[in-house]
Structure 1
């Protein structure tokens, strides 16, 4: 009878846990980013708490306000600058409708096989500009719907970011109690190895954060240098935008490719070629080298495990997989290593074991 009662209690606890996870499901992403943000900046939280003589709530409030200013300020400033650039783009399109295209560049006709056809197509579009834009008009509605959907996603992302900045306060304030709870839970599950796996997960997440932020900062700086050399207007804004978009897969090309196209439109073909090469091999290329190096630096994981975790996590879970992938593979690799080590016989047993035909050693 006692066994049945215990089984019933376990079933009820599992049902309660499932219901709790279902309630929290809409907030998983915000909770995840708040936890990552709090964990990555926890050394600063510890230092600030010591300076404030242990007042956790005050330290958490100061750090949360700092994150709000640091994140929301640049986004608002970037939004106003993007609005100005959108106005310039609209003026450019209206100018094309009135004045038409400029003469085709001389090098276009010189391209082998397709150069003459491209030059003729350029002149045809220029001569029939009004008809061309009229033919595009039916598709403008679809483009508008697509932009509206992307705007809704962007708005949802901003709300999620705001919720993360609110939740990070509670992670800061209640961080020590959460750490004790997680440590106790792991001790009940895996025993004395709890500290090892906590350090493994903490170190992996910290290296991923360093790799993501470090790579994004490097790409933003390199983009700023390239835009400044090529003479692209708004180089600082584009550099900051590159830094922000570097946090998502294939983000930087959304900045340097339109900048390269603008240089081609202005007739600066040399700088356009430079920026295209710089963007492809330097701005975007550094992501494939610097990020895996920073993530694997300081850990004992093989580089191939890190690479598989980063790219496989992105494909499986989206941007959150950038953190989940390496962490899951790190824990799995450590578990398998421990399991293999436990199955390995001690060195003394191997040395003292008698060979076939030998007398046992006394």
Structure 2
């Protein structure tokens, strides 16, 4: 009898082990298959949640035609990113390629630096000396700094060319967004079931706060950063600043981590004073300040009430996401880490209140 019970127990353990191993193998295989789609799906879900109020209003104005509303917003969203991205990428690649060819042939005409360059803090003297050498002896300058120039041009060309992949990912994400919008009720029910199994009685509150967090960071912080980057790009293109696409990307990164874009546009304005007449240089400087301060009236429009997320969380999410997944990760990383931070706080608060409630009873 004991041997029989022991045999049954061993058999149950072996069966359970086989089931667990088979489940792990199947789970790993499924994860490997869907891994290339995780980032676009995450980005599509973020856009869908952040812009759902706009989609709902458009759907209502179109008489409840959700498919048509989703198609219109998808086309607008793709155009809003693809057109500026292609423009800035082409501008950057053309400018870098042209400068590279002229530098190789020794025909690059570098204007002499202004004496004001020496007054730049920390780097003024060295920048003036290197700039002066480039203006008077471009071949000697290219020979002396050949390795640094080669690495810089390679990195800039790679960054500009990578925008092509970003565009494809964004187009795919917008298509996924349209699918989420047209199946909003089913997606909402699925999220409610998932959060109910995960969080129990607090699932509705946590789901509501999670949606608020995504909208706050997605439509607020990222929307403001994207708007400032586009405005900065327009000014850079009009001013004829070389490699405008690269500077737009830097402005975008700085704006996402909630720092003023003037950190990027300020040095460019100082450079523009050295190569342009005073009037256009002053206009560009004023425009740069306006772009940098535009978040003062953009935040009430896009951010709303939302939720407060520490800047460090946004910074870590944006930079970590970009390191892990490129430009798209710059957006998704900030939102996902902010959401994880908010859910963790809600979970901790839930765990803290339970012992207190039991003590009161």
The two structures have a TM-score, normalised by structure 1, of 0.69
Cα shift readout 1:222-255 (whole Å, capped 9, x = no counterpart): 8589x59xx97259x97x9977654434784555
Cα shift readout 1:38-83 (whole Å, capped 9, x = no counterpart): 1111123223434455444343333322322332233334455556
Alpha-carbon separation, structure 1, partners of 2:33 and 2:122: 62
**Correspondence for 1:23:** 33
**Correspondence for 2:175:** 166
Cα distance, 1:123 vs structure 2: 5.9
Equivalent of 1:198 in 190, 207, 210: 207
Runs (5+) with no aligned partner, structure 2: 1-7, 323-329
1:314 aligns with 2:318: yes
Q: Is this contact kept in 2: 1:201–1:327, CA < 8 A?
A: yes
1:343 aligns with 2:355: yes
In structure 2, the residue corresponding to 1:248 is in which secondary structure? helix
Alpha-carbon separation, structure 2, partners of 1:207 and 1:291: 13
Q: Is this contact kept in 2: 1:183–1:194, CA < 8 A?
A: yes
In structure 1, the residue corresponding to 2:253 is in which secondary structure? coil
Question: Closer, same or farther in 2 for the Cα pair 1:202/1:7, shift >3 Å?
Answer: farther
Residues 15-24 or 339-348, more deviating = 339-348
In structure 1, the residue corresponding to 2:239 is in which secondary structure? coil
Equivalent of 1:216 in 220, 225, 249: 225
Alpha-carbon separation, structure 2, partners of 1:117 and 1:200: 52
Q: Superposition pairs for residues 153-302 of structure 1, below 5 Å? A: 153-216=162-225, 219-220=228-229, 223=232, 233=239, 246-249=251-254, 252=261, 253=263, 257-266=267-276, 268=278, 271=281, 275=285, 298-299=305-306
Q: Is this contact kept in 1: 2:67–2:182, CA < 8 A?
A: yes
Pick 1 or 2: higher relative contact order, CA cutoff 8 A, min separation 6: 2
Equivalent of 2:48 in 35, 38, 45: 38
Alpha-carbon separation, structure 2, partners of 1:25 and 1:310: 24
Question: Closer, same or farther in 2 for the Cα pair 1:269/1:114, shift >3 Å?
Answer: farther
Cα distance, 1:335 vs structure 2: 1.3
The alignment covers a number of residue pairs equal to 337
Residues 168-177 or 326-335, more deviating = 168-177
Cα distance, 1:99 vs structure 2: 6.1
Equivalent of 2:339 in 308, 324, 327: 327
Q: Is this contact kept in 1: 2:317–2:338, CA < 8 A?
A: yes
In structure 2, the residue corresponding to 1:298 is in which secondary structure? coil
Alpha-carbon separation, structure 2, partners of 1:40 and 1:105: 47
1:76 aligns with 2:86: yes
Alpha-carbon separation, structure 1, partners of 2:43 and 2:119: 52
Runs (5+) with no aligned partner, structure 1: 350-362
Question: Closer, same or farther in 2 for the Cα pair 1:56/1:223, shift >3 Å?
Answer: closer
Question: Closer, same or farther in 2 for the Cα pair 1:246/1:140, shift >3 Å?
Answer: closer
Q: Is this contact kept in 2: 1:212–1:291, CA < 8 A?
A: no
Question: Closer, same or farther in 2 for the Cα pair 1:57/1:93, shift >3 Å?
Answer: same
Q: Superposition pairs for residues 120-131 of structure 1, below 5 Å? A: 126-131=135-140
Q: Is this contact kept in 2: 1:232–1:259, CA < 8 A?
A: no
Alpha-carbon separation, structure 2, partners of 1:146 and 1:112: 26
Question: Closer, same or farther in 2 for the Cα pair 1:180/1:11, shift >3 Å?
Answer: farther
Question: Closer, same or farther in 2 for the Cα pair 1:332/1:196, shift >3 Å?
Answer: same
Cα distance, 1:323 vs structure 2: 0.6
Backbone CA RMSD of aligned residues: 4.9
Cα distance, 1:265 vs structure 2: 2.7
Q: Is this contact kept in 1: 2:118–2:125, CA < 8 A?
A: yes
